[in-house]
Chains A and B, each alone.
Chain A
């Protein structure tokens, strides 16, 4: 059974082994996600198990279309709730989260590009700030990895990463605005 069939099978029968099969491949990624927010090995492991417990109920009632991205958002929210509960302050980069929540809406968008799309892109590149412009060019056009970009530009690795993420987001917004403006 593929993921969709497993999901449907679990929803109709409540067969926990089906849910186990569905969940198991994502556990190691989930652990990483939980660790990112909770920053504690034991809490992260418990969180992975607790999320599974919650899915037992949720997946019988909700229609889930894309399990992977649904699971990601669900887990992230779960971790943020945990943090809020014990009122522990953890710095979460708001830019990162903005970027991610938009991402999931557009993940399958790899439409055909026409000539005027490239013109638009060139125009939009100009609105990016210097860091973003530089990093996006190096990454997307010259296909350099973050580390190389950091070495080339002298920026911190994390800065490179967020410059690319945010640059990409800004480009997307700009492109959509131009398209709709026509």
Chain B
């Protein structure tokens, strides 16, 4: 420490342990530094530096600093508690407010929870009741669901109107398409009808609309029910 260095220089100076050059150097410094000069004068009066005395003094300072820090901590303790209490109070109020708002807003949100699906991405069926009395045993909704799940990607999309009869086993038979739809469309319709649900009634006439291929999104095509489908049954 510079402090100790200076102190030992003072000690050496007073006890004549310095060379002439060192003495001159210290004297010159002291001329520019009255603090140092005063200290030298003091130690000379005391006839030397007492290191023990100084270390006791250092200890006194350390104790003084530590004590104050300790009492300050003790004082701040209650203050800190107050601060923590106040902070907790504020947090509590904020929490209550948040809960209130959440509850309040929740009511509104519930009414807006509507799933929209685009009908053009769905396979839809339109029973043409003028041409038949057949209805699927499981209901139109389930049938449409089945179609959407089973339709193959190979189908490009388009409309087809089919006439069929219901066989003894309850499955559509003699399936015939009206007009000239694409062969892929006819094949897919036949496949879907024959491997699907059983029917009741004797004759069926259906219009099936397949979505355009490009737009088809599997995840959307699986969404259950286009609201416009038909109001025949309710779940």
- Name A residues whose Cβ lies closer than 8 Å to a Cβ of B: 16-17, 19-20, 23-37, 39, 41, 44-45, 48-49, 52, 68-69, 71-72, 76, 99-100, 103-104, 107, 139, 143-148, 164-165, 168
State whether A29 and B58 are in contact (beta carbons under 8 Å apart), knowing that A16-B65, A35-B42 are contacts in the complex.
no
Nearest residue (CB) in A for B37 is: A100
B78 within 8 A of A: no
B31 touching A165, Cβ below 8 Å: yes
CA distance A49 to B65 in the complex (A): 11
Which residue from A25, A35, A104, A107 sits with its C-beta under 8 Å from B43?
A35
CA distance A164 to B37 in the complex (A): 13
B57 within 8 A of A: yes
Q: In angstroms, how far is the closest chain B Cβ from the Cβ of A125? A: 17
B61 within 8 A of A: yes
Range for the number of chain B residues in contact with chain A: 35 or more
A27: chain B residues within 8 A (beta carbon): 3, 54, 57-58, 61
CA distance A37 to B39 in the complex (A): 10
B53 touching A34, Cβ below 8 Å: no
CA distance A49 to B68 in the complex (A): 14
B68: chain A residues within 8 A (beta carbon): 16
CA distance A26 to B39 in the complex (A): 10
State whether A33 and B53 are in contact (beta carbons under 8 Å apart), knowing that A20-B65, A27-B58, A49-B64 are contacts in the complex.
no
18 CB contacts below 8 A, A to B, read: A20-B65, A24-B58, A27-B3, A27-B54, A28-B7, A29-B36, A32-B10, A32-B38, A32-B41, A33-B38, A45-B57, A45-B60, A72-B34, A100-B37, A103-B34, A107-B32, A145-B24, A164-B31
Consensus secondary structure, chain B interface: helix
Which residue from A24, A35, A165 sits with its C-beta under 8 Å from B61?
A24
Give the one of B10, B38, B39, B56 with max A CB within 10 A: B38
B35 within 8 A of A: yes
B130 within 8 A of A: no
Could you mark each residue 67-107 of chain B with 1 if its beta carbon is under 8 Å from any beta carbon of chain A, else 0? 01100100000000000000000000000000000000000
CA distance A23 to B49 in the complex (A): 19
A143: chain B residues within 8 A (beta carbon): 21, 24
B20 touching A144, Cβ below 8 Å: yes
Nearest residue (CB) in B for A34 is: B42
State whether A36 and B2 are in contact (beta carbons under 8 Å apart), knowing that A17-B65, A31-B54, A107-B32 are contacts in the complex.
no
A25 touching B3, Cβ below 8 Å: yes
CA distance A68 to B45 in the complex (A): 22
Which residue from B4, B28, B45 sits with its C-beta under 8 Å from A36?
B45
B111: chain A residues within 8 A (beta carbon): none
B27 within 8 A of A: yes
B6 within 8 A of A: yes
Known: A32-B40, A33-B38, A72-B34. 6 other contacts (CB 8 A): A24-B58, A27-B57, A28-B7, A30-B39, A35-B45, A144-B20
CA distance A8 to B119 in the complex (A): 74
B108 within 8 A of A: no
B3 touching A33, Cβ below 8 Å: no
B65: chain A residues within 8 A (beta carbon): 16-17, 19-20
Q: In angstroms, how far is the closest chain A Cβ from the Cβ of B37? A: 7
Which residue from B35, B43, B56 sits with its C-beta under 8 Å from A68?
B35
State whether A29 and B35 are in contact (beta carbons under 8 Å apart), knowing that A16-B69, A24-B61 are contacts in the complex.
yes
CA distance A175 to B221 in the complex (A): 103
CA distance A168 to B2 in the complex (A): 27
B116 within 8 A of A: no
CA distance A177 to B43 in the complex (A): 36
B23: chain A residues within 8 A (beta carbon): 145-147
